Amino acid sequence: VVALDRSGSMAGDEIEHARRALCDVVDRLGPHDSFGLVSFDDVVEVTVPAGPVTDRAAIKRAIRSVDARNMTDLGAGLLKALEEAQPAPKSKKK
């Protein structure tokens, strides 16, 4: 899971380079790999829920939709990314 700062300081080339780098990462992942993206400024959003890379095009569309804006709440962004990275609880077999 990637935590992406989308605060105002990322405007311009910075956010474009970050989006391009994330799309490159997605292109290198296989169908058994997992990926997730948490975007944050003063608001934290799960842009791509953590899970298998089954639809690269949809993941890259979501990455490209992230724009720079507002102030930074780094702590909240990192906490949400850590939550997303936790494995889903396994169901108990009866």
Alpha carbons 16 and 33: distance in angstroms, whole number: 24
pLDDT tens-digit map of 12-71: 999 999 999 999 999 999 988 999 999 988 888 999 999 999 999 999 999 999 998 877
Torsion of CA 27, 50, 87, 82, to 10 degrees: 110
pLDDT tens-digit map of 65-84: 999 887 766 666 667 777 87
For residue 40, list its beta bridge partners. Answer: 5, 44
pLDDT at 77: 66
Three-state secondary-structure class, residue 22: helix
For 46, the token pair is: 């799960």
pLDDT at 92: 53
